[in-house]
Amino acid sequence: METLLDQADALIKAADPDDGPERPSFDIPESLLPLTMPNGDVLEIRENPSKGRGWCAKQPIPAGTVLFVAKPIAMALDMEYVGPDQNNDEDVDEEFMEEYENQEEQGSTVNELLVLEVLQSIFSNPSIWTEQVSLLYPRDSVDIEASPVWISRDDSIFGQYEALIEQLETVPALQGKSKEISQRLPLIIRYNVLSIETCPELLSHPGPNGHAPLSGVGLYHWPSFFNHDGRPNVSRYAVGDIMWFVTNQDIAGGSELCISYLEHDILCESPQRRNLMLRMDFKEDEGVFLKGGALPGPSAESDGPDAPVVDDDVQNELMGMNTFERLEAIDQLIQQAAGEALPEGEGVDLEGNEDDMEAHGEAWFQCDLQNLRILKAITLEAMGFSDKALSIWEECVRFTETQMPPNDETSIVMRVQAALCSLHLKQETVARQHASVALQRHHLIFGGGVGRFRRRYRQEFLLNLRPADSTTTASGVNGGVSMEEFLWPHVDY
Ligand SMILES: C[S@@+](CC[C@H](N)C(=O)[O-])C[C@H]1O[C@@H](n2cnc3c(N)ncnc32)[C@H](O)[C@@H]1O
């Protein structure tokens, strides 16, 4: 994994400031090649009457087992998708653009680029269709014929799509299949696409050296047989385009192995909200994923927001303020997010403009509150109030450990900040406890002991969230040793 992380860093470093990085297409390192074929002694695909095919465990599987590692059939980067050019088209109708922007917000438009990429791969190597893509859901011709014909919102993409479909008939192995491919492929992408992100959980992910520009979508073969569950027992993570699937808990033989199609911080929401976000062809209405009892999520008739409010734009807007203003704004938003207050001058944002920060007097998503807590802790630390920040980091830890799947990678990030903050306050015992849980959990999910942990967290340790971070010496006893070296010394694990 370390080699792949180096390659990911190199792509970010060499990225064009306007066009972003090159698309990652990494070779699976030799040491991981045995993990690319699902082990038939341990795993099998079974048919389930209500969910279709899905991966199952043939025998007990311990937590932290890598089920397999996969490379996509094709991928596309979010940054590559530019969408219809509004400036050059005076006839673009407003309703269309509104719908287009909504879709864009939901991150689905890059899927259109993926349709083209997969088609290109099929054209170059027809066995990709016959041996992999054609086996994916949906397979039933009734479902397929009932679906509307796919039309891209982007004329340029649609033109290329039609041309490629026509060219398929010139490939002997695909003759007579172009109609089926044109009907099925967009649906296959729609229902099997996976987001691909490198270290997305890190606070440094969106920053200058973070891996956000490598984010995209991909179509994978074996991973497409994971069904969704609101209590996933499998977690996934990626470096570049290579993706790992690992059990996040001990699994009993015979159980189904499921991932979550939803972001893990949405899983604690009400079924109504989860289904709105899921946008799938099935309803996910199992009980909410909670260890500590149900949160008071919105009821069916609630008119609270139907998507998280504290998105990247809101977070950037807040981080652009000076710390005093920011703290005040965050506190106001926390009240609104908890459904305790209407915003100042209802329906206006922090600068008095109308925007989607309009609150409804209804609770926002739990992840909104979590994101606001994180921003508050960062702000308090920058202001020198690390003692207040520590209790907020600990609240953040609690959220990830009670409202998210077991051993979630986000809980590691929160433990790391709680450890660094405690050490800054010279509370070494507390710091070591958080540090130890973070490392154990990281080792379980990502493997590689302290070496890999420190490699994956390299950018995170450069964040300098608290004054004098880089030179801190714990309680002075470890003169000259950085906080991370003090808490996670390089030892064999
Ligand atoms: C990525 S595929 C998973 C494999 C699929 N079941 C198959 O037969 O190939 C996604 C599709 O599986 C089905 N599916 C996945 N999770 C489900 C669930 N929890 N309940 C019902 N259907 C589910 C839905 O039809 C969904 O569009």
Domain CATH code at residue 359: 1.25.40
Q: Is ligand 1 within 6 A of the CB of residue 137?
A: yes
Domain match, 73 and 157 both: yes
The pTM for the full model equals: 0.89
Calculate how far, in angstroms, residue 139's C-alpha sits from the geometric centre of ligand 1. Answer: 12
Contact (Cβ atoms closer than 8 angstroms) between residue 35 and residue 29? no
In the DSSP assignment, the letter for residue 87 is T
Domain match, 163 and 21 both: yes
The domain total for the chain is 2
Domain match, 250 and 341 both: no
Alpha-carbon Rg of the chain, whole angstroms?
24
Q: Say if 279 falls within a structural domain.
A: no
Q: Say if 276 falls within a structural domain.
A: no
- Alpha helices by DSSP H, listed for 132-215, are 141-146, 155-168, 178-192
> CA-to-CA distance for 217 and 199, rounded, in angstroms?
15
Q: Say if 274 falls within a structural domain.
A: no
Calculate how far, in angstroms, residue 244's C-alpha sits from the geometric centre of ligand 1. Answer: 20
Domain holding 133, by residue range, is 2-264
Angle at 389 between CA 385 and CA 391, to 5 degrees: 130
Question: Is residue 354 within a helix (H) or strand (E), and if so which, with residue range?
Answer: none
Domain match, 116 and 9 both: yes
Q: Which residue has the tokens 């710091």?
A: 431
CB within 8 A of 409, min separation 6: which ones? 201, 235, 237, 442, 445, 446
Domain match, 121 and 222 both: yes
Q: Say if 411 falls within a structural domain.
A: yes
Domain match, 147 and 213 both: yes
Contact (Cβ atoms closer than 8 angstroms) between residue 198 and residue 214? yes
Q: Is ligand 1 within 6 A of the CB of residue 280?
A: yes
Contact (Cβ atoms closer than 8 angstroms) between residue 195 and residue 217? yes
Q: Is ligand 1 within 6 A of the CB of residue 124?
A: no
Contact (Cβ atoms closer than 8 angstroms) between residue 283 and residue 275? yes
Q: Say if 301 falls within a structural domain.
A: no
Q: Say if 454 falls within a structural domain.
A: yes
Q: Write the CATH number for 44.
A: 2.170.270.10
User: What is the dihedral angle through the alpha carbons of 275, 281, 283, 288, rounded to the nearest 10 degrees?
Assistant: -50
Calculate how far, in angstroms, residue 196's C-alpha sits from the geometric centre of ligand 1. Answer: 19
Q: Which two tokens stand for residue 102?
A: 């909504």
Domain match, 236 and 321 both: no
Domain match, 249 and 326 both: no
Pick the atom of ligand 1 nearest to 191's CA.
27
Q: Which two tokens stand for residue 78?
A: 């979010």
Pick the atom of ligand 1 nearest to 280's CA.
27
Q: Is ligand 1 within 6 A of the CB of residue 52?
A: yes
Which of 53, 111, 132, 137 for mutating ligand 1's site (highest number of atoms within 8 Å of CB)? 137
Using a 10 angstrom Cβ sphere, with 0-12 exposed, 13-18 middle and 19 or more buried, the burial of residue 417 is buried
> What string of pLDDT tens digits covers the 493 residues of the chain?
999 999 999 999 999 988 899 999 999 999 999 999 999 999 999 999 999 999 999 999 999 999 999 999 999 999 988 765 544 444 555 655 555 555 444 445 889 999 999 999 999 999 999 999 999 999 988 777 777 778 887 888 889 999 999 999 999 999 999 999 999 999 999 999 999 999 999 999 999 889 999 999 999 999 999 999 999 999 999 999 999 999 999 999 999 999 999 999 999 999 989 999 988 888 876 544 443 333 444 444 456 888 999 999 999 999 999 999 999 999 999 999 998 876 655 555 555 555 544 444 689 999 999 999 999 999 999 999 999 999 999 999 999 999 999 999 999 999 999 999 999 999 999 999 999 999 999 999 999 999 999 999 999 999 989 887 544 554 454 566 889 999 999 875 5
Q: What are the beta bridge partners of residue 475?
A: 473
User: Which amino acid would we find at residue 151?
Assistant: I
CA distances from 305 to 29, 336, 366, 372 (A): 44, 11, 11, 16
Complex ipTM above 0.90?
yes
